[in-house]
Amino acid sequence: MPLGNLDETLRHQLPQTFDTVGTSDPRFYDRYWFSCYDPKGEITMIIGMGLYCNMNVMDGFVACQLPNGEPGSSAGTTQHNFRFSRELRPDIDTVAVGPLSIEILDPFKRAGIKVAASDQPLELDLEWTNFLTPKLEDHHFGRLRGRVTQDYLRYTQVGKMAGTVTMNDKAYDLANCWGGRDHSWGVRPQTAGPEPVTGSPQTDVMRQTGGHVFYWIPFSCEEFGGHVQVQCFGDGRQHYMDGIIQWPDGTERVVTATSFEVNFHEGTRRWKQVRSHFIDEAGSTYDVVTNQLARDWAMIGTGYDWGWDDRQGLGVYRGEYYTETDTYDMSHPENVILSDGETLQPMHREAPAYGTINGMDLMGHQIVICTGSVPFLGLD
């Protein structure tokens, strides 16, 4: 068990070095995620970095969407994907994969994200700064047929991004972009390769209940912001709700009730506009309208949804160093055309969002994922 820099701290929780974790589950991970959304829609990015201690892997990604014409026009969007993977040990203390690096400059307040000049058509130097304090979600735990399916924590935080980006020889000087971030760790599915077969997929809980909706939004306006997450069955019954309204001075109010309705692009499950209603513990109400600033992300390009060319997903060992780059055509209202010409209908429905909250301008990251039959939103 080699020593690392964190072993110099007084924060050990196991009689082990920080080179190891408290479970042998190969799916154990620890991951940063950032978004950078230009309010004008000229460029939008999501960036991530994950460490998979039991797989001896660190991997990362940058996905960048550029409009094919003027932002908001009917010309469509192109998504450029950059994926990086390296062998974790012995360099376990360096949060970098190839040209991509992430540095926490001041915990919960400032972070630096860089992609150094390389043979890739992308270079960036960004700094994330906080607007609100982090929101720690409830512990996520699930078990199916005796096996743990998820066991993780996540905090979400709203901030701003600024810096420079060069993409395909075009420079972007970003001064006031919306920047959400999250940090999660533990055990999750779709990590470290395919799941073992433990029974028929027909007994899956979502199939038993007829459908499922996952709703998730960190957001902010000029004065305040927050984070709301809802999970519900296809008939609208909520089985999980967690939310908070926050102000920059540290004031917080718990969200006690939520409701939402969704306008979908015709014939699809891709959300076009979401109208939400929140009530906090003081009885204050918040009417939220979100629209897509750019196309919803094709998460397969980042390694989620069994991404990478080998379709093995995040956290899989791919050698001492390995990288992939590809470009997706996002001009169809729902489908995505991959670099090899394959047409894909994404499962994730998460997108850069703009809109209003109680009439004030808002930006955020809106997710509405519907699976199975969801009659309360008009989906068979």
pLDDT in tens, 200-233: 765 555 445 579 999 999 999 999 999 999 999 9
193: its two tokens? 């390769």
Please report the pLDDT score of residue 227 as a whole number: 97
CATH for 5-377 (1.10.1270.20, 3.40.50.300, 3.90.660.20, 2.40.370.10): 2.40.370.10
Please report the pLDDT score of residue 209 as a whole number: 58
* Percent of the chain residues past pLDDT 90, beyond the cut: 86
Backbone angles phi, psi at 7, to 5 degrees: -70, -10
End-to-end, the C-alpha distance of the chain in Å comes to 53
Please report the pLDDT score of residue 202 as a whole number: 54
Using pLDDT thresholds of 50, 70 and 90, give the confidence band for residue 25: very high
Mean pLDDT value across residues 100-104: 98
Please report the pLDDT score of residue 272 as a whole number: 94
Q: Is the pLDDT of residue 71 over 70?
A: no
Distance CA 120, CA 117 (A): 7
Please report the pLDDT score of residue 206 as a whole number: 46
Length of the chain: 380
Using pLDDT thresholds of 50, 70 and 90, give the confidence band for residue 348: confident
pLDDT in tens, 253-265: 999 999 999 999 9
Mean pLDDT value across residues 139-164: 94
Backbone angles phi, psi at 62, to 5 degrees: -135, 130
SS3 content of the chain, % helix, strand, coil (to 5): 5, 55, 40
